[in-house]
Amino acid sequence: MIENEKNMESDDIGIDDFIWSKLDDFKFEEIKRKVDCLKKDYFDLKEDNIIKILESLKLDTRKNVNNLSSNFYNFIMNRKNEIERVKNMYLFDKKFGNYLYTAGTDEVGRGPLAGPIAAAAVILNLNYKDDREFILGIKDSKKLTSKRRLQLSEEIKHRALDYNISVINNTEIDKRGISWCNNEVLKRAVEGLKLPVDMVLSDGYAIKNLFNNNEFIIKGDAKSASIAAASIIAKVYRDSLMEEYSHIYTKYGFHHNSGYGTKEHIEAIKKYGICKIHRMSFLKNII
């Protein structure tokens, strides 16, 4: 009897235990652990099994198990909505033509008083076979937390067919002007891709002197999967550069303002002067 009880505690709960409402044999912690596993294995769950699992959780006599039913239901609905949202972003990219390789590109760092401008170009697999190939969570990078951006950046770089990041420093920005550098950094990001690009989707405006088909999309990082992916890895890359600079130039708060003209940053410039990564052409009204 003791041995059987020990096995009951160590054995994992199977799908059948949910379907046939045998949850009374299991502790709440075991049930919750299994529900968390089911969330991770979402793509392997059949629709009819999901319904039975929800019913089994709801019919349990324990309130905390009933709450797991609501929690799991909300997870399922949110996951379905997210898949549909991201799928529409992938479909948006496909509507420009049946190209072998379509790249999305975006830049970050046009407006800061210090640091480089950076751009990324990303080629996603638009010829997906099922929903599990989508990179869920992609959107305008500014609408993501720094932690989530970092997670997605790693996933994008791991799962993209190809990606490239390009940077132009503050010296060239002062020499060439931000408009030229903005176009050039996007162009370099695309040209640095290893795969032959058939179509380039850019955010906001066309890229000049680019020898590829190019479509520009207003607010593209909210509509296009490829542009959103590019915006995320470009921002994470530039933010990490500014984090490194913050350890060298410690007075300006680069680790949290990324070189933008915050009140703290401007006051530091007036108090301590400039450093080597400041854009002189951006500081005419400050110093």
pLDDT of residue 15: 64
pLDDT of residue 201: 98
53-66 burial: b if 16+ Cβ within 10 Å, else e: bbebbeebeeeebe
Question: What is the number of other CB atoms lying within 10 angstroms of the CB of residue 215?
Answer: 16
Question: What is the number of other CB atoms lying within 10 angstroms of the CB of residue 285?
Answer: 5
* Sequence ranges of the binding site: 106-107, 203
Q: Is 251 helix (H, G, I), strand (E, B) or coil?
A: coil
How many residues are present in the chain? Answer: 287
pLDDT of residue 9: 41
- For the chain, residues with pLDDT lower than 50 are 1-11
User: Residue type at 205?
Assistant: Y
Of 65, 45, 48, 43, nearest to 56 (Cα)? Answer: 65
pLDDT of residue 208: 97
pLDDT of residue 192: 98
pLDDT of residue 229: 98
Between helix 47-59 and helix 28-40 the angle, nearest 10°, is 160
Order the strands of the 199-203 sheet from edge to edge.
Answer: 162-168, 117-123, 102-108, 199-203, 213-217
pLDDT of residue 138: 97
17: its two tokens: 């235990």
pLDDT of residue 59: 86
* Sequence ranges of the binding site for a divalent metal cation: 106-107, 203
